[in-house]
Structures are given as C-alpha cells and as structure tokens.
Structure 1
Amino acid sequence: MATPAAVAAAATTAPIFISTTTLRSILTHKTLVSHFQTTLPNASLSLSTPPRHSLSTSPNSTLLLMPSFSTSSSLPYIGVKLVTSHPQNSSLNLPGIHACYTLFSSITGQTLALFDATELTLFRTSSISALASSYLSRNDAHVLVIIGSGNLSPHLITAHLGVRPSIKRVIIWNRTPEKAAALADRLRGENGFDGVSFESNGCLEEVVGLGDIVSCATNSERELVRGLELKEGAHLDLVGSFKPTMKECDDEAIRRGRVFVDNEVALEEAGELVGAFERGVITRDDICGTLVELIKGDKLGRKNDKEITVFKSVGSGVVDVLTAQLVYETVKTDQIAQQ
C-alpha cells in the first residue's frame, strides 16, 4: 500500500465519494480491530480532537459534530463527522442514527473524500467494543448477550465473535420481542456463523444472568442491566449512552465491575458514570484505565476469571479518522495501481 503522504500527494482537486457498498467491500471487523490496535496509541498522541458538540434539535433528537485533525506525515488528515440521532425512527422502521463524514488533507486543505458514515460508525463502534473485549472478557467466553436489536447489534455480534471464537451461543433481547426474534432469524440464515446458535429471549433478568459478555446498544434513559444479575466473570460492554441523561446499567453494575473507558470524554458524557460519580458510588480515580492504556500494556485488563469487567465507550473523532484513513488509502492505492 502506498504511504499516507504519497496518497495525499496524489489527491486531485475532485473529492471522491465512498459509498456504503464500497466501504463494506473494504472493511471487515477483524481488519479494523487490528488497525485500531496498531494505530490508536500513536494516533492518540498526534491527533487533536476537540470535544464534540452535542446539540438538541428537538426534545428527542440530537445533532453531533465530531472533528479531528493531524499534521503528522503518517496521518495527514482532517476529518469531521456529522451525526443525527433520532430514536423515534424505530416507529418508522428507520435507523435511529445517520451520519456523513468528510476527509480533508491537512497538508493542502483539499477535500479528499465524502463518506456515507452511518456504516462507518457501525463498524468503528463495534470494533472498538471487540478490541476492548479482547483484553477484558474471559478467553473462554461462551455466551454473548446482545441488548438491543438495532443496526449496531449485528455488527457487535460479528465483531465480538471475531475476537472470541469460543462464543457458541448468542441471545438477543429487545423491548419489542418481535424485533429480537427477527434479528435472530436473520442471523441464522447468514454465512460465516458456523457452530453459533442464535436465539431471542423476552426476559431481561434471565438474559443478563446468562451472559459471559453482555453488550448493550440502546438509547435507554433508564437502567436495563442490574449489577446483581451479572454472573461471576462477566464482561459488560456499554455502547449506547453518549450524554448524561442516558444509561444502560445501574450503579451496582458499576460498583461491582472494574471499569474501563474508550477515552476520558466518557467521564463527562456517559450517564452511567456521571450518575455514579454524583452519587458517590465510585470516583474518577476508580476508573481503571482507557483503551489505549490497555493496548500499550500500561494498565492490566482482566486479572482473573471471576472478576466482572465493564467497558464504557462514547466514541471519538480519533477512531472515525482512523477508519476513514484505512478505507480512503485502500481506495486511492487501488486507483494508483490501475493507472
């Protein structure tokens, strides 16, 4: 593959549009997990990522603006993602999250590429969860519980299976049982899941207690996972909340677990953590580390098979630009090779 600087230098004034079809033909969860593992530590040092702007566009809708930029020759990009969150879309049978992404050259300021970033967000979010799970879940995890059955859920399933091939049973729960059953039926018919059973279950309390890994991807503003129901040795993956009013688990889950975050912004935005701090359940000093610290080995992940671990992600412009980098450089390298 051509170097990032060479790719940037070869850019023309006309930006390219990278469609969802193209993105899917390039990305896999395994390759993205590997890309994050090798690039995140250095990228976190070279990228400037201002706090994202979260604007309420209506009582139930949010607009997020997520910029990130670097002048490093190994990552010569500026990226901006715009995200809309409309949870009420479920009643319209539409995704609740939509996004677009623009990638610029930090050398010339040119617009390099435009992405339909809805799929980009699904890939990067699920791959970050899976990467964290590779450090925090048990090596012999057998049962994966997915809470929520929206567009992110199948990505989470695929990503977690990629890092924990020991998983042989996937259980899906949703407030609307029919949606959970429909997703389980769909996954049973897809290739690539040999030896894995898919099922739905309408009893949340029972579902939580079965999971070696419990992954939540909802817009809930009330706790779903109760800490007392988590089994010994479970790993809790919290993906959904991105503002203080949202939460997917109760204080007991936070108190029982060794808590890690994708980045320090989670301490300001994640409702599960903000609420726990306010109520004195834990302090900021009780947070065990970030994903980058896990990758670098600065912080120890799972210590034994009995402890409960928690990973809370809120997303960042860093992982967006790294995902866009991988896709864009692959496309441009292919174009250069064909010339």
Structure 2
Amino acid sequence: MRIITAQEIEEVMNFRDLLETLRRAFRVGAVAPSPLTQRIARPTGFDDGSLTISSAWHDFAAQDTIERGFIGTRIESSLPGSQEHQSPSVAGVYLLQSGKTGTPLALLDGKALVNWRTAATSALASSYLSREDSSRLLMVGAGSLAPYLIEAHASVRSIKEVLVWNRSPAGAQQLVEAMQGQAFTISATTDLGGAVRGADIVCCATSTHTPLIKGEWLQEGTHLDLVGSTHADQRECDNEVISQARLFLDSYDTTPTTAGELQEPLADGVLSLQDIASDLAELCQGDRAGRRFYEQITLFKSTGTALADLAAAGHVYLRV
C-alpha cells in the first residue's frame, strides 16, 4: 500500500484536470451511504469533538469510467481544542481500495485531498452558475481552504480582482501577501457589505454561527459559493439571501439535513425542498439548467460528498 503525502498531492494536482474528473464522476455517480458521525467526548476545558466516516464505491455494472475499480473511505476527526496545541482542528486520512479485490491501494493525506476536492467542487458549480463575464471575486474567510478556492474560481472565470475579508484583518493581509504574483490583483478589505455589493462571485469559507452575508447587500447577477459552515448551528448567510437566490446543492442526500443555511429557513417557511433548483449531479448530467438569465442571483451550498472524495482520490492515485 502506498502512502501519499500532502506534498505529493500538491505536486500532481491542477484545477483544470481535476474539474473534468469531478464532472465525469457526477455524471456517472457512485454508491455513497450516509456518513457515520460519532461524538468524541473531550476532557474538561475542551469542546466535544466528532469522528466522521464516509465511504463510496462505483457500481461496476453501470459504466466504464477512468475512476472505475475503486472503493474509498474518508476518516476525519474534528477536535476544536486541538488548535491550542498548534494542531489543525480537522484532520484525517483517505483509504483507497481496489474495487475488484478490496486490497488497500493507498492512504492519502485527508486534509490536502479535501482542500482540492472542496475548491474544485465549488469551481465546477461556478462553471454552471456564475456569469461568464465574472471578474471580481470576494473571498470571505482566510483559512487554509481560502487560497484553493480563489485559484479554483480563477480557473473557470477570468478573475481580475480579488478582495479578502476576514474577522481578523491580519489574517486577511497574510493571505494577500502569500498570493501576490497571480494573474489577478488581490487586496484585503474591512468593508464586508461594500465588498459584497461590488463582487460578481462571493465565496465564503468560515465556521461562523452568525450569518455574515446579508441579502440587502446582494446585487443582480451575483453568484454565492458557501462552503464553510457544515453543521446545523452554523450559517454564513441570512434568510433574505435564501429568499432571493436560486439555490443549488452539491447533494440532495446530505446537504439539506446538515447545513444550517437550509435548516432554519426550512423551519421558518422561508424555504421548501421544492425551491431547490438542482444538485451538482443534475447540472453535470444536463438534466437541469444552471443560471437562467444574466441578472439572476445564484447560490451553491456545499457540505462535501463522498463521491467527490472518491473521484479526487482516484485522480491523485493514477498520477502519483
């Protein structure tokens, strides 16, 4: 069995190729049971954590694809208190197995894989949902995922200007300095409302419990990409955003039950499941339309899918 490190993943990845792998994967589909999440009790003084196990495999009788023949399982822990020990709060590994024999093929760095998978999924959705002339990107949040999201969106649209907003202005400035020398200009801002009003694409990757993006700030034609909040008590946008936007998901199966952006509007009657326009599989398969007109506001909500994990892991394995 091969051990594939974060550095090796970085060396073989580029968003253009990965997007096409994901596009094919969402067209073909996979078997992906609901993820299993268990609570991890923490010592006094730390928040409780969680352990999530999600798996996927291809239906080998269905279609022959480049990713055929793999079974994959992501094992991920979320331990908020670990940051006090200079360790990431979310960490894990991805086990890739032969679909024919079950033989373990590779153990991949989970964090690096998820960074690339998450950003590529957002860019794939943007290729259907954002305006083709989108040139101004707002990045809300300056964590480890942010540079991947910026580069991913820039791979599908001709981004000329990037603004970064973060609760800590120093964090935003640090990201800006790290991403100098790109084909776009990048700078930090402390005016979130003004930045949203001027953006063609608003990308959020935060763990906020209080909505950051307000519907009153949205302009016609904006595309929102919300990837940061993945729990029921987290929300990156308010109800007014939900009521204005045409809503798309990465997956019908898991996102409505896990995303705080949806649960509260569903409970308040602001949103019904029938209001959801499509998931990513239907977009990639051509069964549903994406953006319908230039002025439309679109929103893509992602919480991660086992299908995308499997496709990304197979993509890496075939290239390392």
Q: Is TM-score (shorter-chain normalized) higher than 0.5?
A: yes
Residues 71, 106 of structure 1: 8 Å contact kept: no
Whether contact under 8 Å (2:25, 2:308) holds in the other structure is no
Partners of 1:93 and 1:126 lie apart in 2 by 24
Runs of 4+ aligned residues of structure 1 deviating over 6 Å after TM superposition are none
Q: Distance in 1 between matches of 2:81 and 2:165?
A: 19
Closer, same or farther in 2 for the Cα pair 1:227/1:94, shift >3 Å?
farther
Deviation at 1:177, TM superposition (A): 0.7
Deviations 1:229-280 (A, max 9, x none): 1111100101012221111110110110000000011111111011111100
Structure with more helix by fraction: 1
Partner of 1:103: 96
Deviation at 1:91, TM superposition (A): 6.0
- Name the counterpart of 1:186: 178
Tell me the CA shift for residue 203 of structure 1. 2.1
Pair 1:213–1:87, CA change in 2 (3 A) = farther
Displacement after TM superposition at 1:183 (Å):
0.4
Equivalent position of 2:152 in the other structure? 159
Q: 2:38 aligns with which of 55, 76, 83?
A: 55
Which residue is equivalent to 1:172? 164
Which of the numbers 45, 51, 58 marks the counterpart of 1:70?
58
Point out where structure 2 has 5 or more consecutive residues left out of the alignment.
Answer: none
2:128 paired with 1:135: yes
Corresponding residue SS for 2:319: helix
Aligned to 1:335: none
Q: Which runs of 5+ in 1 are unaligned?
A: 1-14, 332-339
Equivalent-residue separation in structure 2 for 1:199 and 1:323 (angstroms): 31
Give the alignment partner of residue 277 of structure 1, picking from 252, 266, 269.
Answer: 266
Bigger drift between 91-100 and 176-185 goes to 91-100
Deviations 1:45-80 (A, max 9, x none): xx2111112233243533221111235164112111
What's the TM-score once normalised by structure 1's chain length?
0.87
Q: Does 1:220 align with 2:208?
A: yes
Could you tell me how far apart the structure 2 residues matched to 1:38 and 1:318 are? 11
Are residues 136 and 242 of structure 1, via their aligned partners in 2, closer, same or farther at CA, if it must alter by over 3 Å?
same
Q: Shift of the alpha carbon at 1:320?
A: 0.6
The count of residues paired between Structure 1 and Structure 2 equals 309
C-alpha spacing 1:295/1:103, structure 2 compared with 1 (3 Å):
same
Separation of aligned partners in 1, 2:202 and 2:89: 22
- Which of 46, 64, 73 is the aligned partner of 1:80? 73
Are the counterparts in 2 of residues 68 and 318 from structure 1 also a CA contact under 8 Å?
yes
Structure 2 length-normalised TM: 0.92
- For residues 236 and 171 of structure 2, the distance between their equivalents in structure 1, rounded to whole angstroms, comes to 19
Q: Which residue of 2 aligns with 1:243?
A: 231
Counterpart contact for 2:55–2:306, Cα < 8 Å: yes
Contact 1:95 1:151 in 2 (8 A): no
Letter in 2 for 1:214: V
Q: Deviations over 1:157-185 (max 9, x none)?
A: 000000002x1110111111100011011
Q: 1:30 to 1:105 in 2, by over 3 A?
A: same
Q: 1:88 to 1:138 in 2, by over 3 A?
A: farther
Aligned partner of 1:23 in structure 2 is 9
User: Does the 8 A contact of 1:95 with 1:150 survive in 2?
Assistant: no
User: Is the CA contact 1:222–1:246 (under 8 Å) kept in the aligned structure 2?
Assistant: yes
1:124 pairs with 2:107: no
For 2:85 and 2:270, locate their aligned partners in 1 and report how far apart those are by CA, in whole Å: 38
1:304 to 267, 276, 293: 293
Local SS of the residue matching 2:318: helix
Distance 1:210 1:89, change over 3 A: farther
Are 2:319 and 1:319 equivalent residues in the alignment? no
- Say yes or no: does 1:287 pair with 2:276: yes
CA gap 1:218/1:328 in 2 versus in 1, 3 angstroms: same
**1:40 matched residue in structure 2:** 26
Q: Is the 8 A contact 1:78 1:105 kept in 2?
A: yes
C-alpha RMSD of the superposition: 1.6
Q: Distance in 1 between matches of 2:249 and 2:293?
A: 19
Partners in 1 of 2:81 and 2:195 — Cα distance? Answer: 25
Alignment-derived partner of residue 266 in structure 1: 255
